[in-house]
Amino acid sequence: MTHFRKKTVLLLTFGLMAGIASYAQSGLRYDSQGTNIVIKRQAEEPKVRKIKATGRVIDAQGEPVMGATVKQHGTSNATVTDMDGNYTLEVPEGSHLIISYIGAKDREIIAGNNVVTTLQDDVETLNEVVVIGYGSVKKNDLTGSVSAIKPDEMVKGVQTTAQDALQGKIAGVNIISNSGAPGSASTIRIRSGASLSASNDPLIVIDGVPVDNSSIEGGGNVIGGINPNDIESFTVLKDASATAIYGSRASNGVIVITTKKGSAGGLKFNYAGNFSMSTIAKKLDVLTADEFRSFVPTVTGVPPTAKFGTANTDWQDEIYRTAFGHSHSLSASGNIEKIAPYRISVGYTHQDGIIRTNNYKRFTADGSIAPQFFDKHLTLTLNAKFSNERNRLVDHSVVHNAMRYDPTRPVHEGSPTGPGLGYFIWMNGSSPMAIQTDNPVAQLELQDFRNTVNRSIGNMAINYKLHGFEDLQFNLNMGYDILKSTYRRNVPDKAGTMYTSWKKDGTGEDYDGTQKKRNQLLDLYANYQHTFAGKHDLSGMVGYGWQHFWKKFNDTSLAPDGSEVFTPTHYETEYYLLSLYGRANYTYDNKYLLTATLRADASSRFAKNNRWGYFPSVALGWRLSEEAFMKKQDVVSNLKLRLSYGQTGQQDIINDYPYMTTFTISYDTSSYRFGDTWYRTYRPNGYDTDIKWETTATWNAGFDYGFLNNRIYGSVDVYKRHTKDLLNTINVISGTNYAAVLTTNIGEMDNKGVEVSINAVPVQTKDLSWDLGLNLTWNTSKITKLNAIDNASNFVQTGAISGTGKYVQCFMVGKRPYTFYLAQQAYDSNGKPIAGKYVQADGSVSTNEYRRATNKSALPKSYMGFNTHLNYKSWDLGLTAHGSFGAYIYNYVAADEYIQSVYSDQGNMSNIMPSTRDLGFESQQLYSDYFLESADFFRIDNITLGYTFRKLWNSKSNMRLAFSVQNVATITGYTGIDPELSNGIDRDVYPRPRVFSLTANLNF
């Protein structure tokens, strides 16, 4: 009976479902009249007239938008715009259309004929997908401290190197150019760095390849070899939640560089070129020849027989010049058969330096293609980059020598075949003086320094989406980074500088050094992503990595006649890195976010007992703006809270094998002469069998915000880092190791700070838009342990100002890194410094040069960046600036001068600055804190005015012309050439030029 009832229920159910389906398609309806049901034919609805809606979609600049989605509201009926922004869609008359495009605000319009729709940028969704380690993530789903910029969207002046595009653009990132020479390397610090003796450079990842960012013999860094026009975006990973996936190399942050790739659509070309003129922005004031002749006889000890020259030479004018440069870049991109997007580019840069004979040339080539197979389930991506950099270098001491050289002497004097080769040098009878300032013009014209760097970076990446289970993807990445650098220095016999070198015999030199590096990479990882029940987003990644680093160096030093001056140097080394890593992300209802990562690294740089390091992280996020109670207001458009903790590591140390005994070639000055050849010796290095990873733990709390439909948006982060097992070089008791210095884990340091980013769009109309950007960073650090002794008297000297053991900085417990270690100058009642008098520990004043750690460091306490852009129709105007506050500079240029230095016992003379004359210090006082100055500054980096010509010969062609000035002005109280230095010591600094440029950018 029960079985019969079940069958009856099933039959009735299926019968009812079939009846409902038939009724729904029959055109009938029913009415209930009492106990009767009356079935009637349903009246036909009036037919809606359909039309072909046509139109064109353009952006805020009037350019066509290709690939925008045009969809009938409330339906799946949709199409996309073609390369000219046109669309056609059949819809019922009167329908509403929704037009959407990535990075733009959706527009709703009424369907019609030839409707032109302008899309406005949506600042919240621009750069929505952010590239991170081993994948990408939506900006809204980020839980770590991550910032991304696109150089094409920033103000552009002359960008000789790609690192110029990062200057002042991101909170927590401080970039300092170490030299004004074209193509020179910059110091990049993210949150001030986490180490002392180990590297503080961030990890650089280019298109998935972590590259070797160590120094290049005579050259710049890896970013300098990239054409700025090839870069799509920079993504900076700052906190441990974002960087821990890179484990042992991420304590100092990570910069992920993504280069431009091919895209959908037809063949496109881009040409970018600029022509520039560079001038000296500032020279230091020194005594003129007439002032020098008047002052020197008044100096105590100068004999009346001292003779002056008859010339009036401005040596700074002799070494500086107006320099010209030009650069060109041409790229082509497209999509082969709609399955293989590609892009190729070539670039050339030629930039002369403002110091005579200095120039920089760079050739770059870049290519990428990403064909897709098997219904786009398999993607093969090939990237290859090549750069050739050629640099005619100059000895930076020429800057100091041009200030000091006797202004009464001529550039040329004497026989072109005698000592000095026709350039004036100081003679003692018939022999050149062994101690004298080098003739700066002779330094430039008789010394030939040349550096050539060839580098290639590339990879092959395979991505496979599993058929039938597309949420799972497998990735194979094989990459390489190959470099060869040559450095040559040629100085002829009898050049003046060869009499003042440590050899002092006038013998010339032909030095040739070659450096080779090879970095090979293999990564195999899988990604999974799926949304469950519409609210649970789960993604994960697990992987294995292998990386091999190899480098080799050779050099020879020959006399011009081919004989050996030094025995050749040779070294070769390598190390390996093995890794296991994983990441998990969970998002609930697009509101609550969780990210966890774990990486295990094994480095051959450490002994087996300490080879593995483990680096975990966890982060939480809450999109508060998605809560129901936040939907009732229209002021806060975005608010996300973030909290993270993680650990990262450091293994970039001086030697590849500090746990075992190694030998290093000695310095030139430690050579021994046998016959006519100087022989270098080999010295043993100290070693520590227990050396291990340096580990940094980071807490980070922050929030991202947006107000008034994101017309105001940005982020705030607060962080605290603690580094333990600090890798540091210390002194050890003689006889306890092979050397008196040792690299080991003895030290701890705290680092904390606040980062604020504020962006606003005050005006945005059809013809006029104006945006502003400001970022602020506060940072402080303190050494909490050093050399295993926690007391104030324990310190390590650093900040060398000479080759004879003179230092002006220290690492000390309780102090910031690079704290200045100087004597406190004594002053009289009028506030004038008393020569040779210093304040002692008990407050008394004496001639004892008592030194102590100051409360002043070379590191800034805060820094900032500012940018603004104004667009009116086809015109655009932009300005960028940055500043640094709280750092100090030791002005060695001023400290090295004193009254008595104008004349030597040998009879040669040197110039001084008027400030030195007025100060009145008779003797040198290198350790006086009088020469410690504030390095605060605010610099206007760039002002650019541009005009865009649209639709030159078709709708896709346009050209932008712009005039810009770089290094416009600097507001500072510093008395030297430039307050922006990475090490806080002003000595032999190549000045930053002021650059005027005309640029052209053509798309067709």
CATH for 80: 2.60.40.1120
Q: Give the confidence band of 25 by pLDDT, cuts at 50, 70, 90.
A: very low
Query: What confidence score (pLDDT) does residue 549 get?
Result: 94
Query: What confidence score (pLDDT) does residue 217 get?
Result: 65
Distance CA 349, CA 182 (A): 10
Flag whether 249 is in a domain: no
Long-range (24+ apart) CB contacts under 8 A made by 827-833 are 833/919, 833/921, 833/928, 833/930
Q: For the chain, what's the residue count?
A: 1004
Query: What confidence score (pLDDT) does residue 46 get?
Result: 54
Q: Is the pLDDT of residue 871 over 90?
A: yes
Q: What ranges make up the beta strands (E) of 281-396?
A: 323-336, 340-352, 359-369, 372-373, 378-393
Flag whether 87 is in a domain: yes
Residue type, 479: G
Lowest model confidence (mean pLDDT) among 17-26, 280-289, 730-739, 965-974? 17-26
Q: Is the pLDDT of residue 27 over 80?
A: no
Flag whether 113 is in a domain: yes
Query: What confidence score (pLDDT) does residue 292 get?
Result: 97
SS (H, E, C) 206-227: ECCEECCCCCCCCCCCHHHHCC
Structure tokens at 607: 């002994």
φ, ψ for residue 223, nearest 5 deg? -65, -30
SS3 165: helix
Query: What confidence score (pLDDT) does residue 91 get?
Result: 92
Q: Is the pLDDT of residue 281 over 70?
A: yes
Q: CB of 743 within 8 A of CB of 728?
A: yes
Query: What confidence score (pLDDT) does residue 32 get?
Result: 44
Tokens 């009832």: give the residue: 5
Type and span of the H or E element at 18:
helix 2-26
Flag whether 99 is in a domain: yes
φ, ψ for residue 200, nearest 5 deg? -110, 10
For the chain, give the percent of residues with pLDDT over 70: 89
Distance CA 678, CA 223 (A): 38
Query: What confidence score (pLDDT) does residue 286 get?
Result: 97
Distance CA 213, CA 249 (A): 11
Give pLDDT tens digits for 191-240: 988 888 778 889 999 999 999 877 776 667 788 889 999 999 899 999 88
SS3 542: strand
Flag whether 117 is in a domain: yes
SS3 886: coil
Q: Which residue from 604, 485, 488, 490 is spatially nearest to 553, judged by alpha carbons?
A: 485
Distance CA 13, CA 10 (A): 5
Higher-confidence residue of 217 and 545: namely 545
Q: Which residue from 211, 198, 214 is spatially nearest to 658, judged by alpha carbons?
A: 198
Distance CA 173, CA 936 (A): 17
Give pLDDT tens digits for 508-533: 889 999 999 999 999 999 999 999 98
Flag whether 290 is in a domain: no
Distance CA 458, CA 861 (A): 38
Across the range 671-693, mean pLDDT stands at 74
Which residue range(s) make up the domain with 81?
50-121
Across the range 9-32, mean pLDDT stands at 42
Query: What confidence score (pLDDT) does residue 684 get?
Result: 76
Query: What confidence score (pLDDT) does residue 74 get?
Result: 74
Count of C-beta atoms within a 10 Å radius of residue 407: 23
Q: Is the pLDDT of residue 155 over 80?
A: no
Q: CB of 217 within 8 A of CB of 677?
A: no
**Average pLDDT over the chain, rounded to whole?**
87
How many domains is the chain built from?
1
Q: Give the confidence band of 654 by pLDDT, cuts at 50, 70, 90.
A: low
Q: Which residue from 118, 114, 9 is spatially nearest to 51, judged by alpha carbons?
A: 114
Query: What confidence score (pLDDT) does residue 338 get?
Result: 86
Give pLDDT tens digits for 286-327: 999 999 999 999 999 999 888 999 999 999 999 999 999 999
Flag whether 70 is in a domain: yes
Flag whether 605 is in a domain: no
The CA–CA distances, whole Å, from 655 to 335, 729, 900 equal 47, 11, 44
Query: What confidence score (pLDDT) does residue 505 get?
Result: 74
SS3 767: coil
Query: What confidence score (pLDDT) does residue 194 get?
Result: 81
Note the pTM of the prediction, 2 decimals: 0.84
Q: Give the confidence band of 31 by pLDDT, cuts at 50, 70, 90.
A: low
Higher-confidence residue of 633 and 578: namely 578
Which residues 6+ apart lie within 8 Å of 525 measured at CB? 134, 474, 475, 477, 541, 542, 543, 544, 581
